Chains A and B, each alone.
Chain A
C-alpha cells in the first residue's frame, strides 16, 4: 500500500514537471495542446474582435486553427469592445 502511494506520488511529481501550461495575459493556464482557435472559443472570445500576440509576435488570424499552443508559450489576447 505504502509502495503504491509513493509510486503514485512519484508519477505525480513527474507529471508536474512535464507542464502543459501556457501564459495568457499574464495568467498560467493548462491549455497546451489546444489550437489558438480552440482556446479562444473555449474562453468565449469573439475571434473577429481579437488580436493575438504569441511569444511577442502577432499571430495572423489565418494561423489560429493550425497553431498549437506549446508548454511555455506566452500569449497576449487583446479583445476589442466598441466605442470611440
Chain B
C-alpha cells in the first residue's frame, strides 16, 4: 500500500524532528558516479528524505557490480541512472530525481551540477576523482564537495574516516587502499565509505560542519 505524501513526511519528522527534516528535504544533492559509492550514498540519502538527487553516470549495470552496488540481477544491462532511479522511487516514492546518463566532464559539469547544494564525488578512477574535486573547488566555490579516496580491500573498517580539508571540502576513506591492490572492492567496506559520505552530507545540511 502506497503511503500518502502526508503520511510519508509525518514518518520522517517522527524520526528526524521537524527542524532537521526541513533542512534535509529542502536540499538538492548531486551524486557523480553510481557505483559502489554512489548507489549506496543515493540509497541512504533517499531514505533520509533528501528533497532532490541529481544522479550522473554513463555506465550500465554489470554482473560484476552486484556484489557491492545497489542494483538487482534483473537490472543487469540497464543504465545505472535508470536502474537506480527505479530503486530509489521504490524506497521513497516522493523523492525527486534528475538523471543524466552521460560522462561528466569539464564541458558539462558546471551545467549539470549548477542546481546542487552539495556534490558527492563517487567515481572509481583516481584521476577522475581528482579532476572533479579540482573543478568544483576552482569553478564552483559556493558548492560543498564530499569526495572519497581509499576503501578497497579487507582492511579494518575503522580505518575509514572523514577528514575536513577546507571550508567546503571533505574526504572520506582511508586515503591509501588502492583498487589495484590484491583484494578489490568489498561491499561492506565500500558501504562504510559511502555511509561516511552520506552522513557528511546530512551533517552539512544539519549545519554541523566539523567532523
Contacts and interface: CB of A to CB of B under 8 A. Distances in A.
Interface of A: 46, 48-51, 53, 56-58, 60-61, 76, 78-84
29 contacts: A46-B126, A49-B129, A49-B130, A50-B130, A51-B130, A53-B137, A58-B137, A58-B138, A58-B166, A61-B134, A76-B165, A78-B133, A79-B149, A80-B126, A80-B129, A81-B149, A81-B150, A81-B152, A81-B176, A82-B125, A82-B179, A82-B180, A83-B150, A83-B178, A83-B190, A84-B33, A84-B35, A84-B123, A84-B185
A60 B136 CA distance: 11
Interface residues of B, number: 38
Contacts of B51: none
A60 B151 contact: no
Contacts of B134: 51, 58, 60-61
A24 to B, nearest CB: 13
A83 B158 CA distance: 18
A56 to B, nearest CB: 5
B139 to A, nearest CB: 10
Given A51-B137, A53-B165, A78-B165, 8 more contacts: A49-B126, A49-B129, A80-B127, A83-B151, A83-B179, A83-B185, A84-B122, A84-B129
Q: Which of A49, A58, A80 has the most CB of B within 10 A?
A: A80
Interface string B158-182: 0000000111010101011111100
The listed residue with most A CB atoms (<10 A of its CB), out of B36, B133, B149, B178, is B149
A43 B151 CA distance: 23
B38 interface: yes
Nearest to B32: A84
A16 to B, nearest CB: 30
Nearest to A83: B179
Contacts of B175: 78-79, 81
B37 interface: yes
Enumerate the 8 nearest inter-chain pairs by beta-carbon distance, A residue then B residue, closest first: A83-B179, A58-B137, A84-B124, A81-B178, A82-B179, A80-B129, A83-B152, A80-B126
A63 B184 CA distance: 35
Contacts of A58: 134, 137-138, 166, 169
Contacts of A81: 126, 149-150, 152, 173, 175-179
Contacts of A48: 127, 130
